[in-house]
Amino acid sequence: MIVGAGMAGVQTAVALREQGWSGGITLLGAERHAPYDRPPLSKAVLLGTAAESALEVDFGSLEVELLLGREALALHPGDRRVSTDGGPVVYDRLVLATGAEPVMLPRSAGVPGVYALRTLDDAVALRPVLEEKRDVVVVGAGWIGAELSTAARAAGCAVTVVEAAERPLAGVLPDVVAERMRGWYADAGVGLLTGTAVAAVEPGGVRLADGGWLPAGAVVVGIGARPATGWLAGSGVALGPDRAVVADDRLRTSVARVYAVGDCASFPSARYGERLLVHHWDNAVQGPRVAAANLLGGDERYDPVPYFWSEQFGRFVQYAGHHAAADTMVQRGDPQGPAWSVCWLREGVLVALLAVGRPRDLAQGRKLIERGVRLDPGLAGDPGVPLKTAVR
């Protein structure tokens, strides 16, 4: 049984069949829609250039029993049972794939004109905002905030982004790199208020902590997402302070026969020497292959080089690996130009790479990170030298 019919849940079902499992598979999902892909929600689906983003998986021929519009309410490992709003379901082995849910501002729920962007329903609800070219205030200058601003500007909306931190993507990228993104907002005609906290979202606008008022035809909250694990309370499945299911390097949870994949689970990374909670698409595709192998009696370790991409303000932004503040940064190319990369080296070894409009750097860098290759910082800093030849 798999709980959560997003990318990670679906990929688990597919991987189980690919790896030879011929027994039953039940896939339970709270949303009513056929399983779909989330990245297009802040891009083509929001703009209406794609109606939806259903996954091209034939559940019938895969013999996967799909229970949609069914929410898991509690887990009882003692008798291997999941309580759902449609009655109990008994499992032999269980995979947790409930993803994440958006963090909302206090007291914003139910205020008219306030939106989040996590589900297909959210994207469909937001479409008229763009079609009617309403003035949009986005709370949060993270990945979702940037993509949403891009789409809203493309639709002709006036957009203001309010960010409590001093710069976009603060805490995710070093200040010097994140600061460059401020210019991307300005070039796109998006107002960006950093160091500005929101006190309350009220009908018709946003009240700022300094007393200021921003009128808005719609407010979209993009301040992060948390693992959707509330239903596991009291089950014995260990959760971390970040609310993620604490999986081991085989993607097993603290409870026998229960595994966890995707946005809902953290795992220990031997590669980076710390526990990682990854909220990106690639992790929801790669983890399930390892979980499926282990469910079927294998002994595979999950230790990926994390990867994600973002499309914002006409730029293709990609990141592979994981860096820490102490790692050495090497700039490749003109940071004011349209295409550049940043490499992070730890004791000379490439551990992470950010590529803006340089997909070849990303492709080569990802392989070098996987292999733990030492780079010559001088060569790596020359954008004319292919990264794969910048090895020491």
Ligand X SMILES: Cc1cc2nc3c(=O)[nH]c(=O)nc-3n(C[C@H](O)[C@H](O)[C@H](O)COP(=O)(O)OP(=O)(O)OC[C@H]3O[C@@H](n4cnc5c(N)ncnc54)[C@H](O)[C@@H]3O)c2cc1C
* Strand pairing report for 265-269 and 258-260: unpaired
Coil vs helix vs strand at 142: coil
Strand-pairing partners, residue 12, are none
- Min dist CB 84 to ligand X, Å, is 7
- Min dist CB 41 to ligand X, Å, is 4
Q: Which is nearer to ligand X, 196 or 283 (CB)?
A: 283
Cα separation, 151 vs 146, whole angstroms:
9
Q: Which is nearer to ligand X, 196 or 269 (CB)?
A: 269
Q: Which of 297, 285, 307, 310 is nearest to 366 (CA)?
A: 307
- 18 residue type, one letter: E
Exposure string over 231-257, b if 16+ CB within 10 A, otherwise e: bbeebebebeeebbbbbeebbbbbbee
> CA 138, 313, 201 angle in degrees (round to 5)?
0
List contacts with ligand X (CB under 6 A). 3-9, 28-31, 38-39, 41-42, 71-72, 97-100, 117-118, 144, 228, 231, 262-263, 279-282, 284, 308-310
- Min dist CB 381 to ligand X, Å, is 27
Q: Which of 55, 63, 67 is nearest to 28 (CA)?
A: 67
What DSSP assignment string belongs to 248-260?
-TTSB-SSTTEEE
The DSSP 8-state label assigned to residue 307 in this structure reads E
Q: Which is nearer to ligand X, 31 or 303 (CB)?
A: 31
- Min dist CB 109 to ligand X, Å, is 17
- 98 residue type, one letter: T
CB-based contacts of 347, cutoff 8 Å, min separation 6: none
> CA 83, 88, 89 angle in degrees (round to 5)?
105
Q: Which is nearer to ligand X, 263 or 361 (CB)?
A: 263
The DSSP 8-state label assigned to residue 70 in this structure reads -
Q: Which is nearer to ligand X, 50 or 197 (CB)?
A: 50
- Min dist CB 105 to ligand X, Å, is 17
The DSSP 8-state label assigned to residue 239 in this structure reads B
The DSSP 8-state label assigned to residue 362 in this structure reads H
Q: Which is nearer to ligand X, 122 or 249 (CB)?
A: 122
- Min dist CB 284 to ligand X, Å, is 4
- Min dist CB 102 to ligand X, Å, is 8
The DSSP 8-state label assigned to residue 35 in this structure reads P
**Six-digit token string for 163:** 């960010």
Q: Which is nearer to ligand X, 38 or 153 (CB)?
A: 38
Q: Which is nearer to ligand X, 102 or 333 (CB)?
A: 102
Q: Which is nearer to ligand X, 144 or 152 (CB)?
A: 144
- Min dist CB 327 to ligand X, Å, is 22
**Six-digit token string for 330:** 């090497």
- Min dist CB 181 to ligand X, Å, is 16
